[in-house]
Amino acid sequence: MTTTAAPATAPFRFFDVHVVRALRVSTSVVRITFGGDRLDELASGGRDQRFKLFLPQPHQARPVFHDTGDGWYTAWRAQDPAERPVMRSYTIREQRHQPREFDVDFALHGAGHDGNPGGGPASRWAAAARPGGRLTVLAPAVEDNGGVDFRPPPGTDWILLTGDETALPAIAGILAWLSPGTRAKVWIEIAHEDDRQPLPTFADADITWLVRDGADAAHHGPDAASLGPVPAALRAAELPEGTPYSWIAGEAGTVKAVRRHLVRERGIDRRAVKFTGYWRRGATEEDLIAELTAGTAPASDED
């Protein structure tokens, strides 16, 4: 099967992009296709390629930056919060070269979606996006870059993937990348039956879709029993023999429960479990950045 060397750290670059089209692919997902002048310089590494997007404030036509050079983060933090762009993490769902475009799948939440009055700036922006809308992205300029986490080491026998709608773009990219015949077991939590997507792959993939019955992911309570259907399904599953490499993403509490199960109850080597909380119930991305900055974020190797 395909394996890779250690993660590379490589340059990311700012790109000004515009919405080419917005397509509602399912009840919970809108696919935004972006175009831009310099997109020949953008190079997605595929798989779970992450990048940052910067949204204009509601009263702005485009994001306002004071500095997009090496000192951008300090300059961005120093900006008036009412003026500075809203920064969010997303995944490149697909990059195309003819024409030069890339797609991002936004999981919609809140803002009237599923009756939830909450929501966040990125979800609201995506739900209202129209051709011509402008934003800025910080995206990779070389394919082998540090924004790709899915890197199974040599000796991996099979792949385990779990996630929700926010991780579906990454899972699609990983499945598309796997070598023919690679064994993969996949659990994906979705809100609605129609949130299933075709996931083309040459891998020998066994994909289980777990529908939340229309309830928004944020409606789950804090107790372990209500972490969503993925931990329960995994607990009941028979796993293949051999050495797995696991990639887990989605809501942070669910990610933690899945990782604990794999490491503690299944005895899987923690170094072969790549896990990322893509969002946390009750916390905005600003809250998560503030925790990281203050050093109060939960330890990443805690299991």
Ligand X SMILES: Cc1cc2nc3c(=O)[nH]c(=O)nc-3n(C[C@H](O)[C@H](O)[C@H](O)COP(=O)(O)OP(=O)(O)OC[C@H]3O[C@@H](n4cnc5c(N)ncnc54)[C@H](O)[C@@H]3O)c2cc1C
Amino acid in position 179: S
Please report how close the Cβ of residue 38 comes to ligand X at its closest, in angstroms. Answer: 22
**23, 224, 239, 283: residue in contact with ligand X (rule CB under 6 A):** 283
Q: Which is nearer to ligand X, 26 or 91 (CB)?
A: 91
* CA pair distance 94, 82, nearest whole angstrom: 32
Burial of 28 (0-12, 13-18, 19+ CB in 10 A): buried
Query: Taking CB under 6 A as the rule, does residue 166 contact ligand X?
Result: yes
Which region among 18-26, 150-158, 176-184, 212-220 touches ligand X (by CB under 6 A)?
212-220
Query: Taking CB under 6 A as the rule, does residue 247 contact ligand X?
Result: no
Residue number of the CB closest to ligand X reads: 120
Query: Taking CB under 6 A as the rule, does residue 115 contact ligand X?
Result: no
* CA pair distance 134, 185, nearest whole angstrom: 38
Which region among 5-13, 106-114, 201-209, 223-231 touches ligand X (by CB under 6 A)?
106-114
Query: Taking CB under 6 A as the rule, does residue 7 contact ligand X?
Result: no
Kindly report the number of other CB atoms within 10 A of residue 58's CB atom. 10
* CA pair distance 257, 279, nearest whole angstrom: 14
Query: Taking CB under 6 A as the rule, does residue 90 contact ligand X?
Result: yes
| Backbone dihedral region for residue 4 (phi beyond 0: left; psi -120 to 50: alpha; all else: beta) | beta
Query: Taking CB under 6 A as the rule, does residue 114 contact ligand X?
Result: no
Please report how close the Cβ of residue 259 comes to ligand X at its closest, in angstroms. Answer: 16
* CB-CB contact of 199 with 205 (8 Å): yes
Please report how close the Cβ of residue 279 comes to ligand X at its closest, in angstroms. Answer: 4
The residues, ordered by sequence, that sit 6+ positions from 111 with a Cβ below 8 Å of its Cβ are: 117, 118, 119, 123, 124, 127
Burial of 29 (0-12, 13-18, 19+ CB in 10 A): buried
Kindly report the number of other CB atoms within 10 A of residue 1's CB atom. 18
Query: Taking CB under 6 A as the rule, does residue 246 contact ligand X?
Result: no
If residue 90 lies in a helix (H) or strand (E), which one and from where to where?
strand 86-91
Query: Taking CB under 6 A as the rule, does residue 106 contact ligand X?
Result: yes
Query: Taking CB under 6 A as the rule, does residue 150 contact ligand X?
Result: no
Query: Is residue 99 reached through a cis peptide bond, with omega within 30 degrees of 0 on the bond before it?
Result: yes
Phi, psi of 130 (to 5 degrees): -135, 155
**25, 218, 233, 237: residue in contact with ligand X (rule CB under 6 A):** 218
Query: Taking CB under 6 A as the rule, does residue 94 contact ligand X?
Result: no
Which region among 82-90, 132-140, 171-179, 235-243 touches ligand X (by CB under 6 A)?
82-90
**47, 88, 212, 220: residue in contact with ligand X (rule CB under 6 A):** 88
Q: Which is nearer to ligand X, 239 or 283 (CB)?
A: 283
Q: Which is nearer to ligand X, 187 or 279 (CB)?
A: 279
**109, 183, 212, 256: residue in contact with ligand X (rule CB under 6 A):** 109
Strands 12-24 and 29-35: antiparallel
Tokens representing 90 are: 């997303």
Please report how close the Cβ of residue 191 comes to ligand X at its closest, in angstroms. Answer: 8
**101, 189, 195, 285: residue in contact with ligand X (rule CB under 6 A):** 285
Query: Taking CB under 6 A as the rule, does residue 220 contact ligand X?
Result: no
Binding site for ligand X (CB under 6 A): 50, 88-91, 105-107, 109-110, 118, 120-123, 166, 169, 216-218, 276, 278-285
